[in-house]
Amino acid sequence: MPTANAALMARRLEDRRRWRNGWRRPAVVAAAAGLLLALAAAALLAPVAGARGLIDSALAQPERSLGLVVLLAGLRALRLRRHWLAERPRSWLGVLPIAPAQAARADAWRLAGAQLPVLAAALAGLAIATVASGNAQGTAPLAALIGAGIVVGSVAGGLLGRRPAAPRAARALRAAVPPAVRVASGWTVLATWPLRQARAQADPGLHARVFGALLLALPIGSAIADILALLLGLAGVLAATECLRGLLAVLRGAGWLRSAAFAPRRLAFALIMPTLALVTGIAAATGCALAAIAAPPEAAIIALGGSLFAAAVAIAAWRLHDPTRPVR
C-alpha cells in the first residue's frame, strides 16, 4: 500500500519547476511592466479623491473590509477546489491509489499556490491606490487585513469545497458565437481569430466578481461621478486586457501556420492590427468618457499609454512566437 503522498509530491515538484522557470516567462515580465505603468499613472494623477475615499472607507470599517476579502477569497477557493475534484479522475494521477486525505493535503498546497498571485495582485492594487491617494498612512494595516482575509477565506473555501463541480454548459459568451453562415477568406479568418479567441476565453463570472468587489468596497455615500469614473476605468482595463489575452493566446498557438508560406509582415499585420485597433478604440472611448464625467485630464493620456503598452506587448509576443521564422 502507498506510503508516500504522491499527489503532494507531484504538486511540489511541479511548483518548484514553475517557480524556477516563472521569472523568465513573458507574461510575468508583462505583468511587472504593467504594474510599473499603473504606479506611474497613479503618481501622475495623485491625489485622486476617489482613491483616498476608498482607503479611508476601508480603514473606517475594517470588519466590513475583512468580510469582503474573506468572502471573495473563500468563493475563489471553493470554486477551485470543486474544479480540481472534478478534473482529478482525468489527471495523470487519476488512476493511482491515492487516499482522499492525501489528495486533500495536496489540494491545500495547491490552493496556497493558487491564492498567492491573488494576494500579490491585491497588494499591488493597494499600492496603486495608496500612490493615487497621495497618502501612505493606513497601507500597513490594510495590507495585513488583506493577507489575513485571504488566508481565512482560502481555508474556509477549501474546507467547504468537498463536492466536484458539476459539468457546465458552454459559457454565455462562448455560446453567443454565431454559427458560420458563409466561408470567410483566409485573411478575414486570421484577422478575426484573436477577437474570437478573446470572446471565447473571457470569463463573465470573473468580471462580475471584480465589479461586485469594487462596488462593495466603495465608501457609502460616494459621489455618482466617482463611482462612474471607477466603473468606466475598470471596464476599459478589463476589455483591453481580454483583447490582449486573446491576441497572446493566438500568437502562442500560431505554430500551425508555420507550414504555410505567409509573408511575415502581412501575417503580423493581419493577426495583430485588429486587436491593437480595438484596444486603442477602447482606450480612446474610456479616456473620452472619463473626461466627460470630470475625471482628471491626465486620464486620457494614461488611456493612450495603456494602448501603447498593449502594442509593445503584442510586438514582443510576435517576435517571440513569429511563425514565419524557422524553429530554433
Query: Residues interacting with another protein, by CB under 8 A?
Result: 1-7, 9-10, 13-14, 17-18, 21, 89-99
- State the minimum distance, in angstroms, from the CB of residue 256 to another protein: 15
- State the minimum distance, in angstroms, from the CB of residue 264 to another protein: 26
C-alpha cell at 188: 478575414
Q: Report which of 269, 270, 250 is spatially closest to residue 188, judged by C-alpha positions.
A: 270
Where would I find the H helices in the chain? 6-22, 26-45, 49-60, 62-87, 100-133, 139-160, 172-175, 186-201, 204-217, 224-252, 264-292, 298-321
Measured from the CB atom, the residue of 167 and 221 that comes closer to another protein is 167
- State the minimum distance, in angstroms, from the CB of residue 25 to another protein: 12
Number of other residues whose CB lies within 10 A of the CB of residue 14:
12
Residue type, 162: R
- State the minimum distance, in angstroms, from the CB of residue 23 to another protein: 14
Cα–Cα distance for residue pair 219/21, rounded to 1 Å: 41
- State the minimum distance, in angstroms, from the CB of residue 183 to another protein: 26
Measured from the CB atom, the residue of 2 and 264 that comes closer to another protein is 2
List all residues 6 or more positions away from 75 whose beta carbon is below 8 Å from its beta carbon: 153, 157, 209
Measured from the CB atom, the residue of 12 and 207 that comes closer to another protein is 12
- State the minimum distance, in angstroms, from the CB of residue 69 to another protein: 31
Measured from the CB atom, the residue of 8 and 230 that comes closer to another protein is 8
Measured from the CB atom, the residue of 88 and 207 that comes closer to another protein is 88
| Cα 14 → chain centroid | 22
Cα–Cα distance for residue pair 280/260, rounded to 1 Å: 30
Measured from the CB atom, the residue of 140 and 327 that comes closer to another protein is 327
